[in-house]
Structure 1
Amino acid sequence: MNTASSKARITAIGTYVPERRMTNEDLEKLVDTNDEWIVQRTGMRERRISGEQEFTSDLCIRAVENLMQTYGKNVEDVDLIMVATTTADYPFPSVACLIQEHFNIKSTGAFDLNATCAGFAYGLHVANGLISSGLHRKVLVVGGETLSKVTDYTDRATCILFGDGAGAVLVEADEVNPGFLASIQGTDGSGGMHVYRSGISKSMHGLSLQGDGHMVQNGREVYKWATRTVAAGIKELLSRAHMNIEDIDWFVPHSANLRMIESMCEKSGFSLENTLYSVEYMGNTSAASIPLALGLGVQEGKLKHGETLLLYGFGGGLTHAGLVIRWGVPDL
């Protein structure tokens, strides 16, 4: 849809990653791999790993605290908390409810959203829709994951990929300077078997998907789907926004794999120099990867108030979502 009638914008951002670093050298001690092989295929050098008693809600709370401290914002009047995650502390209560409790927000809705690695983009889309419709005024959108807790560290194909982290943004009502320009979503459920996490036995398309709660991924198939789908999605998204590649200041894809990002840039016409990503030192953090990339862009002085961004999330489901936004966060 074209979101020209948007009445919302992003006004603040905060991020947090755990202190512990897992380097490629650390992984060499766990599985048959090496730094050169990992960098060549993924572009990853480090990923952050949560502590044994550090969970997704803990990371999300720290990200919200960082947002508040950095921009002098309060969350007392937030009227909806939405957390994009696939690794909630519990099946229920939701991570959003744990955030509400921590900050003692008196009157707010709260729920978790699971669209895997596209979750943060979906969260922004929903927040914009709810505010623009007049149902809400101030929404806290958080993407947070502790993927290390569901990673099989005996599987050399997947254990090199995933890390932990969280990012949070405030989306507030603003009819004068709205920030959401266009959006797109799509799903191909027939590819769901290519990346999944299951704690029970279930069949899909005649295949038995048995698991112990760890992630399972067919990287080759996901790579082919993502590079093809995102390139086509970008073209459609720009059309809906009545824009060209040259109108976009920053491309911010889900940081799944640097080689995948390079392929997407090549297929779509973006330059890697105008792409924000968090994958090199944080790994694939699923729903947290886009806000972490945005946070790095701010911290490094790259991302500036008023610039135009194209965000694109994609992942398990298989599902994807993209947005064109005007960055409404004040410069530091």
Structure 2
Amino acid sequence: MRRSMIRATGCYLPDQIVENSWFEDKLDTTDEWIRSRTGIERRHFAAEGQTTSDLALRAAQDALTRAGMVAADIDGIVLATSTPDFTFPAVATMVQAGLGMKTGFAYDVQAVCAGFVFALANADAMIRAGLASRVLVIGAETFSRIMDWEDRGTCVLFGDGAGAVVLEAVEGNGDSNDRGLLASDLNSDGQYRDLLYVDGGVSTTGTAGHLRMQGNLVFRHAVEKLAKTAHTALDKAGLTADEVDWLVPHQANLRIISATAQKMNLPMEKVVLTVADHGNTSAASIPLALAVADAEGRFKPGDVVVTEAIGGGLSWGSVVLRW
């Protein structure tokens, strides 16, 4: 059976590090308030003139270097973002040009914070179908560009960054012992659109708009839906939560992550956490966390890894893979 395996990871974070204290003279908030409610201590902001495609290109180059590959080895790019440089063309095509790729495909996926999970499942399906053998899957965001700096409930949460993986075709036996992506579970429910959205767009206001969120309601949906999608994907893979070596969740909020792990009966020692240093980087958060854990040598060949995320839409999903 044709599988897709993560051959290498890569990441890029902008140079500007913003500590929680940066907000204290701008908003009615404190470092302690932010830490206690979110687990966030700092985040990175893109520099003036630095775009989502700039961040994505750096992460893609890092992943290719770690894979020992060049752009010509890649058949396509699937890039998840909600903060593109332009309405069109796709950010992925700008990364393609930056890498010097003259062939292959490049397109964007938009599922907000769940974007990377959706992109990963999409690229996996293409590889399984024989449409590609190697795909760069990227999550990249500049959420600092859509913040309302007077809304302390949202602007302290988000940061900028990019992460990438090289997904490569391998042969497996078709069972849960295979290495590579074993199963995915994707969901959306548009009736919850008003819980997390941006109040602008091309066909409405003609502006980028600002992020709006009903945090308490998002929290409740997140804990329930994330645990459920993870169990569904594990069932599809023929595995149980007891067999999970690592949970790599969307890094939105430490309380959501902890509650989800508890529902899955996973100790926090098995959870990859980067939220303290990155904040919520939306579609970039999972590939960033994968890259950090990979660089630290946490993943061993054969480890079962579960990724899960929820974002605006509401859209949510998970992927189960064997490293």
- Normalising by structure 1, what TM-score? 0.92
1:214 aligns to 2:215 (yes or no): no
Contact 1:277 1:290 in 2 (8 A): no
Where does residue 230 of structure 1 map in the other structure? 226
Long gaps (5+) in structure 2 = 173-177
**What amino acid does structure 2 have at the position aligned with 1:118?**
A
Q: Secondary structure at the match of 1:174?
A: strand
Where does residue 206 of structure 1 map in the other structure? none
Where does residue 189 of structure 1 map in the other structure? 190
Where does residue 296 of structure 1 map in the other structure? 292
- Over aligned residues, Cα RMSD in angstroms? 1.8
Long gaps (5+) in structure 1 = 204-208, 328-332
**What amino acid does structure 1 have at the position aligned with 2:241?**
I
In 1, Cα distance between equivalents of 2:313 and 2:136? 24
Contact 1:14 1:70 in 2 (8 A): yes
Match of 1:146 among 142, 146, 150: 142
For residue 211 of structure 1, report the CA deviation from its aligned partner: 8.2
**What amino acid does structure 2 have at the position aligned with 1:58?**
D
Listed one character per residue, the Cα deviations across residues 257-278 of structure 1 (whole Å, up to 9, x for unaligned) are 0111011111221111100122
In 2, Cα distance between equivalents of 1:61 and 1:202? 29
**What amino acid does structure 2 have at the position aligned with 1:43?**
G
Listed one character per residue, the Cα deviations across residues 255-305 of structure 1 (whole Å, up to 9, x for unaligned) are 110111011111221111100122111000000000111111122222223
1:72-87 maps to which residues of 2 (within 5 A)?
72-87=68-83
For residue 76 of structure 1, report the CA deviation from its aligned partner: 1.1
1:36 aligns to 2:32 (yes or no): yes
Where does residue 168 of structure 1 map in the other structure? 164
Match of 1:60 among 53, 56, 60: 56
Specify whether residues 6 and 184 from structure 1 end up closer, same or farther in structure 2 by C-alpha distance, changes over 3 A only. farther
In 2, Cα distance between equivalents of 1:51 and 1:250? 33
For residue 178 of structure 1, report the CA deviation from its aligned partner: 4.6
Q: Secondary structure at the match of 1:44?
A: coil
Where does residue 5 of structure 2 map in the other structure? 9
Q: Secondary structure at the match of 1:126?
A: helix
For residue 241 of structure 1, report the CA deviation from its aligned partner: 1.7
Listed one character per residue, the Cα deviations across residues 43-82 of structure 1 (whole Å, up to 9, x for unaligned) are 0000000001111000011111211233322121312111
In 2, Cα distance between equivalents of 1:211 and 1:314? 25
Listed one character per residue, the Cα deviations across residues 209-228 of structure 1 (whole Å, up to 9, x for unaligned) are 99861100000010000101
Listed one character per residue, the Cα deviations across residues 83-107 of structure 1 (whole Å, up to 9, x for unaligned) are 1000010111111110111111111
Where does residue 101 of structure 2 map in the other structure? 105
In 1, Cα distance between equivalents of 2:2 and 2:29? 48
**What amino acid does structure 2 have at the position aligned with 1:179?**
G
In 2, Cα distance between equivalents of 1:194 and 1:211? 20
Contact 1:6 1:180 in 2 (8 A): no
Where does residue 255 of structure 1 map in the other structure? 251
In 2, Cα distance between equivalents of 1:210 and 1:89? 15
Contact 2:61 2:99 in 1 (8 A): no
Specify whether residues 274 and 155 from structure 1 end up closer, same or farther in structure 2 by C-alpha distance, changes over 3 A only. same
* Count of equivalent residues: 318
Where does residue 175 of structure 2 map in the other structure? none
Contact 1:231 1:267 in 2 (8 A): yes
In 2, Cα distance between equivalents of 1:178 and 1:243? 13
- Normalising by structure 2, what TM-score? 0.94
1:273 aligns to 2:274 (yes or no): no
Name the % identity: 40
1:321 aligns to 2:317 (yes or no): yes
Farther-moved stretch of structure 1 (231-240 vs 215-224): 231-240
For residue 246 of structure 1, report the CA deviation from its aligned partner: 1.8
In 2, Cα distance between equivalents of 1:240 and 1:316? 25
For residue 108 of structure 1, report the CA deviation from its aligned partner: 1.0
In 2, Cα distance between equivalents of 1:211 and 1:149? 12
Listed one character per residue, the Cα deviations across residues 172-221 of structure 1 (whole Å, up to 9, x for unaligned) are 11114651111111112111110001325999xxxxx9986110000001
